[in-house]
Amino acid sequence: MSGIRPTGFLHLGNYFGAVRNYVRMQDEFDCFFMVADLHSLTTHPDTRELKINVQRVLAENIASGLDPEKVALYCQSHIRETSELYLYLNMLAYQGELEKTVTFKDKVRQQPDNVNAGLLTYPVLQTADIILHRAELVPVGKDQEQHLEMARTFANRFNHRYGEVFPEPKAFNFGDELIKVPSLDGAGKMSKSENQLATLYLSDDDEMIRKKVMKAKTDSGPSEPNSKKPDYIENIFLLMKLVSKPETIRHYEMAFNDCTVRYGDLKKQLAEDMVAFITPIRQRAETIRQDQKYLKEVMEKGAEKARRSAKETMDKVREAMRLNYY
Ligand code: AMP
């Protein structure tokens, strides 16, 4: 189970941290993937663009290879059971632990005039989304590690207090570790809202991709053989590992190690490999976005599957909590 907020265009971080894993999981597991529209209200209270953004996230997921016939692909607000479970879990979540969450502290800094209760209890809603399907594996990027730890805490606390209903959810990646896709300016991660010129979006056209990659921070190159790469150069190699062929990466690793690397050439190569990677996804997403009828059917079908699973869990939850009075 996993989700993405409809707060903007999907980028390479969303793709490699999350969606790529969704696509690989769909043949092996019983999967639930959602557009987290309720979560987006904690930072984006204006809902005028929400429908377009929800449709865009759905289209970009499908364009990336997610098959709505194989998984439940749905919209968070269509599953009312989530709100009920969120309410119960809120009684098991303490102010102190919520206030310590890194993402909460970041948001308080970013939007001091809108420190709403939803922001504070964001990890509780996320836990409700996950354990509503009694999910065990949660494909997410590295930035979600702490939230997943909290989800385990809340699930265990529920089990402890009311009886065993939920398995422990774990952050999941097909590789060895969770991924953080760095931004092109060498500072921080790619993100939907911050630093848009240093983030590659799945909707960027070829010229925009080239422009952004060519602007990535470099320097005059190493002066000693086999030097340690500065962080911003390490980041460029990391991006190359995501989209370029192994022989291309080997070539530039060797050039770096013997001090013959030309960053202009490296970035041109990376830009072309990015274009080749992103263009087909962008084109498919554009076509899917035009088909409103199809997107509506996807959402309806996804919600139906998710509601079935949610109902089963909530029957167990109410029974465990002794809320079934008749
Ligand atoms: P969000 O865009 O915050 O709704 O996140 C959706 C998913 O994308 C989550 O699983 C995040 O962990 C993942 N994600 C977002 N940005 C990055 C990034 N720069 N690198 C890796 N994963 C990311």
Q: Is 14 helix (H, G, I), strand (E, B) or coil?
A: helix
Tokens describing residue 282: 């962008």
Q: Ligand 1: which of 34, 64, 129, 144 to mutate, judged by most atoms within 8 Å of the beta carbon?
A: 144
pTM of the complete model? 0.95
Confidence at residue 63, expressed as pLDDT on a 0 to 100 scale: 98
Confidence at residue 66, expressed as pLDDT on a 0 to 100 scale: 98
Tokens describing residue 91: 């009684």
Cβ–ligand 1 contact at 59 (below 6 Å) = no
Cβ–ligand 1 contact at 20 (below 6 Å) = no
Beta strands (DSSP E) in 17-104 are: 32-35, 72-75
Taking the alpha carbons of 255, 257, 263, 266 in that order, is the dihedral positive or negative? positive
DSSP secondary structure letter of residue 3: E
Cβ–ligand 1 contact at 189 (below 6 Å) = yes
- Matching residue, tokens 């465990």: 320
Q: Is 32 helix (H, G, I), strand (E, B) or coil?
A: strand
**Nearest-angstrom CA–CA distance, 122 and 85:** 13
Select from 107, 110, 134, 109 the least CA-distant residue to 118: 107
Distance 170 CA to ligand 1 centre (A): 16
Confidence at residue 206, expressed as pLDDT on a 0 to 100 scale: 98
**Is the pLDDT confidence value at 263 over 90?**
yes
Select from 2, 13, 45 the least CA-distant residue to 238: 13
**Is the pLDDT confidence value at 193 over 80?**
no
Cα end-to-end span (Å), the chain: 32
State mean pLDDT over 66-84.
98
**What is the DSSP code string of 242-286?**
HHS-HHHHHHHHHHHHTT---HHHHHHHHHHHHHHHHHHHHHHHH
Average per-residue pLDDT for the chain:
96
| Amino acid (1-letter code) at residue 123 | P
State mean pLDDT over 63-67.
98
State mean pLDDT over 92-96.
98
Confidence at residue 200, expressed as pLDDT on a 0 to 100 scale: 97
Give yes or no: 180 in active site.
no
**Contacts for 148 with CB less than 8 Å, ≥ 6 apart:** 138, 140, 169, 170, 171
Give yes or no: 189 in active site.
yes
Q: Which domains does the chain have, with CATH numbers?
A: 2-180+292-320 (3.40.50.620), 204-285 (1.10.240.10)
Tokens describing residue 148: 């997943």
**Is the pLDDT confidence value at 185 over 90?**
no
Cβ–ligand 1 contact at 35 (below 6 Å) = no
**Is the pLDDT confidence value at 176 over 90?**
no
CB 270 within 8 A of CB 184: no
Q: What are phi and psi of 125, to 5 degrees?
A: -65, -40
Confidence at residue 187, expressed as pLDDT on a 0 to 100 scale: 81
Distance 117 CA to ligand 1 centre (A): 22
| Ligand 1 atom closest to the CA of 140, numbered from 1 | 10
**Nearest-angstrom CA–CA distance, 42 and 35:** 14
